[in-house]
Amino acid sequence: MTDLRDQTFLVTGANTGIGKETVRVLALRGARIVLAGRSAEKTKAAIDEITAETGNARLDHLPLDLGDLTSVRAAAQQFLDSGERLDVLINNAGLAGKRGMSASGFELAFGTNHVGPFLFTELLRDHVVASGPGRIVNVASTGHYRAKGIDWEAVRRPSVTRTAFDEYCVSKLANVLHAQELGRRLEGTGVTTYSLHPGAIASDVWREVPFGLRHLMKLFMKSPAEGAKTSLYCATSPDVADETGRYYDNEREKQPSSVVTPELAAELWERSEKWVAEG
């Protein structure tokens, strides 16, 4: 358990599930942690609980709604204005099982799980580079294997499938592609990137799934504590310090979907840049 007292971590979606367990372990290791999320009340409760358990009071809340690009810009600016270093950004927040559109005009899962995190990362990445050797971690999903590609028109329309699971899988494919292209663009800067599957986890990401189905699903899932292991591995392990742009599952590198190509990653990046410039 490496001592992390000299490092600052920013974790999105950190007041519940995998994010909360990730913060708990980082706090035990002495890290300074900023928990980014929508609910100040839930985040304060998580901070109080983790501080009481670990004795680490170096935890703060950063207001952030990833579905709203105005909120994303405000959150990034608030962090930059603090003057704090940023060693590791963990894009953990995710949404599944809900249909609709994001506040910024994207299919709900795609807007929340990819477009918002893409902009947030772009606004903070130079600061991660300036802070010294650092890491950027995208929590994706094995669901990305289900996606056959990205329909560029569909991601600008409301969800069409009944459970929005197919749309969720496309957003997770985007997480893997984003980490790959970001790793290429940051090569030589000392900042490395990662995407990962945390496992099928009984976390709050499924909060929008109808109660009966949600309860049944969770019976067959791992705990959030188990789910945090690969996030922590990618964020802190010296074993992967020199690797970048790769995909991990169960604390091991794994070959991503055949759809994950440099060409698609580059196209997604170019389109994402245009989307956030417009939004």
Please give the residue range of the domain that contains residue 131.
8-278
Tokens representing residue 12 in the block: 């999105």
CATH number of 232's domain: 3.40.50.720
Q: How far is CA 47 from CA 27, 40, 44, 60, 89, in A?
A: 10, 10, 5, 7, 18
Q: Look at residues 107, 111, 91, 87 and name the one whose alpha carbon lies nearest to residue 99.
A: 107
Question: Is 35 domain-assigned?
Answer: yes
**What pLDDT is recorded for position 109?**
98
- Triad 201, 202, 203: Cα angle to 5°: 90
Question: Is 199 domain-assigned?
Answer: yes
Sign of CA dihedral 255, 260, 263, 266: negative
Tokens representing residue 118 in the block: 């893409």
**What pLDDT is recorded for position 13?**
96
**Running DSSP on this structure, what letter comes out for residue 252?**
E
User: Number of structural domains, the chain?
Assistant: 1
Question: Is 3 domain-assigned?
Answer: no
Residue numbers annotated as active site: 168
Question: Is 162 domain-assigned?
Answer: yes
DSSP 122-165: HHHHHHHHHHSSEEEEEE--GGGGG-----TTGGGS---SSS-H
pLDDT(30) > 70: yes
pLDDT(81) > 70: yes
- Mean per-residue pLDDT, 46-75: 98
pLDDT(133) > 60: yes
Q: Whole-angstrom distance between the N-terminal and C-terminal Cα of the chain?
A: 42
Question: Is 22 domain-assigned?
Answer: yes
Question: Is 1 domain-assigned?
Answer: no
Name, in order, each residue with C-beta under 8 angstroms of 81's C-beta and a sequence gap of 6 or more: none
Question: Is 84 domain-assigned?
Answer: yes
83, 59 Cβ separation under 8 angstroms: no
Question: Is 244 domain-assigned?
Answer: yes
Per residue in 203-258, pLDDT (tens digit) is 455 455 555 655 555 455 566 678 899 999 999 999 999 999 999 999 999 999 99
